[in-house]
Structure 1
Amino acid sequence: MYLRVPLILFLLASAGPSEANIFARGSEHILRSIDSAHRHAVKRSSNLARDLRRAFSPILVSQDSSSQSVYCVTGDGLTESGGGSSGSGSSGGSGSGSASAKASGTASASASAASSSSAASSSSPWKLQQSYEGNSFFSGWTFFTASDPTDGTVQYVDSGTASSANLTGINSAGNAYMRVDTTQTVSGNRQSVRITTDYTFTGGLVILDAVHIPTGCGTWPAFWSDGPNWPNGGEIDIVEGVNSLTINQASIHTSSGCNLPSGDSSTLGISGTIVGGTNCAAAESDDSGCGVQSSNTNSFGAGFNSIGGGVYTMQWTDEGIKVWFFQRSSIPSDISSGAPNSSNWGTPLSFWPSTDCTMSKYFYDHQAIFDTTLCGQWAGNAWGQSGVPGQEQSCAATTGVSTCAEYVAGHGDGFANAYWEVKSVKIYQESS
């Protein structure tokens, strides 16, 4: 998503992840032209618009907050406070050089979900449907292998290639990792991973427990969900940012007619700050949608990693969509016990109520997605900029390299921290 609004500048010293040594060893409505318009339409049809939003709202942040821009992920990728998209594949991002079929309400990880659901207590309104964790984490995901919709200097690889190149795996702690190739010099785009659940859901509760989020110059990671025929099926960006940002931004992107009833955080009852306006329609907001920026400098990037990560939850009901973030030290016991109950979670980071946005009309048939692209329309355009949260100096100044693409091609060692380390992803449905 692209978000054009005042931002609070934060800066945290980067901290190395506990598993760094393990990973060091291997490895998307303004169109500029007819051609770009065609390109944009194609991307939308493939649900890869999330990345486009950010492409049209370059991140230009100055010390004058009125000119600051924020970026977030959209149904298909990451965007700026005026649009965003992580760049999903067709129908939520699963289609792209892979033949895996989407399963509505079912997936190969269902067996694991069934065995874990017994832990839920009668106090929880949720029933576990899918659980991705441990040695079977990658079961039930499709590897996206098409060209990056956000024009990243990245090559997404298939499951076999990712595994053999040590870009995916399960580490000694039993956590799944998805990394960027760290080969020092590459002749083409640098390899990375993007995966989409085969499981499709409408409504529900998604809980991500992560230890590490990709960070560093040139990176653009996101965890989000996307529906078919973007933006018709809607997009929900849960985790997203670029380069050295340390503040997360959550966003939604929809078709025409979905609005926030207020742009005031206290009125909405959220802890975050509205950064993308109140019109959530991608086509009417320069693809920015409605974004909310966290004030927590441990909610993304190096800040998140320095505290051992934490949990992000996204609750989608008829009432609306809410996102919460809990640091590792303050994860609610009901989440840990497998009996999640949001009535215990306090003020959410973000809330997009159904007041002026009927959930069943604007959001349906979603799939969850992880990706880490490089450069592209957000991270690449922000290469020479400074003053962004967590990035006091520009990446050009920090690395001594003039362009993001040049850096990606010749500095594999700069991507040692460009990895996801995930304990689990769990998807719940309301108990009947």
Structure 2
Amino acid sequence: MYAVTFTATAAQAAAPGPPSGWTTVFSDDFNGPAGSAPSSANWMFDTGAGSSFGTGEIETMTNSTANTHLDGGGNLDITALNNGGNWTSGRIQTPTANVGAPAGGKLQVTASIQQPDPGSGLGYWPAFWMLGPGQWPENGEIDIMEDVNALSQVAGTIHCGTYPGGVCNEGTGVGSGLRACSGCQTGYHTYSMILDRTNTSAETITWYLDGSQYFSVSESQVGTSTWQAAFDHNLSIILDLAMGGGFPNGVCGCTSPNGSTSSGASMNVDYVAAYTTTGGGTGTSYQSLPGTWPQCASENGSCAVDGHKTVAFGANGRFNYSTLGNSTACTTGVFGDPIPGTVKACYTETPPPAANTWTPCATENTTCSFAGVMTVAYGANGAYNYATLPNGASCNNATFGDPASGSVKSCYVTGPPPSFTSWTSCATENSTCSFSGTHEVAYGANGQYYYGSFSGGTACGNTVFGDPVPGTAKLCYVQ
């Protein structure tokens, strides 16, 4: 067994207040008694074998205060311990994806950290990072600070797209590579990231060490749809100290840690804070055009629609939506301007039976069965009427009218998320899904979803939708 003592080190500073024009959305100074766990309101432990994280780590993450504790002086210590060849350490995460940049605004996430300073540091892997909810890597990861093997360096990286490979080069990601970080093992330094969405067609993420920029990536490097799925939503904040794995092994060209690696070094964190600026314009969170919708009009033309259809207006992955019948002018006066200075067009919903958007659910005069609320299309041969209905639908003319007289018709429902050809993640559970116009919203997880049709956004929670999968963290998706 090992004995642990807690030595208080005076906190270097309180978490700074927001810069001018910014608002604090999360902050922790790590004040509390020596040896206690960090605030359960701000953090939860992510426990288990490091091998389960997919990074090759060899430690076991615990909820023991031997590994993760406050030092009594206003700092958090995450300590890696070797007990007879079995390494343990700590990893904590905000309980929800709690911080994100609003459309038209910015998000800054920053921390004051002293990197571990072991006598022999082969295999040490401290990290301060952010993770999007849902599927990795498509729902995003931002690594704000990483170092390996106690080299007193720093790297900033994004992960996105598909694994392996893809536009984000997974599982390596798009990153700065390790850069010199002088004095980062012997003193506290600030590590920061700013996600800038002020120009929603040219968003960026920029990394700073002690306030000086050292790396940046842009939306254009990975493509609009990949970027939006990864970063146009809230993310959680994570602090951890791993041992071994792909990154330290790749740098040393060896297997780490080894028998000489020192036990008991800590990553010390003085504060973590997040700030946002207010989104400009309407503050609308725009989604990519669902699936492959046909164009119905160029800008300032007229879009003719049969029945009740959703029309999208925009270009380059930026669209405003409205649900319309008959015809409408394809203008900024009707839809607003989702992408100023760019020539736009109008598009209508992809009609059934497009497999990437619609699924057959019933033939004429039978029942289309489903739970919750869904949009149902009824018709044939390119002529369809639509209705948003709860808990199933009678697939007949009495319910929908007759869009294709004399033809045998069928009913179709929209496919469930998270198929990002047709659905875009818009909110975590108990937050707000924001959009303009009228959209279908799906709420749930793991293939179980409830649906609703909303105008101008909706709260994302059980009180609105019911609970399609009790005991599981859920998300909202918008179509």
Q: TM-score, normalised by structure 1?
A: 0.50
Query: Which has the larger share of helix?
Result: 1
- Tell which structure's C-alpha radius of gyration is larger: 2
Larger strand percent:
2
TM-score if structure 2 supplies the norm length? 0.45
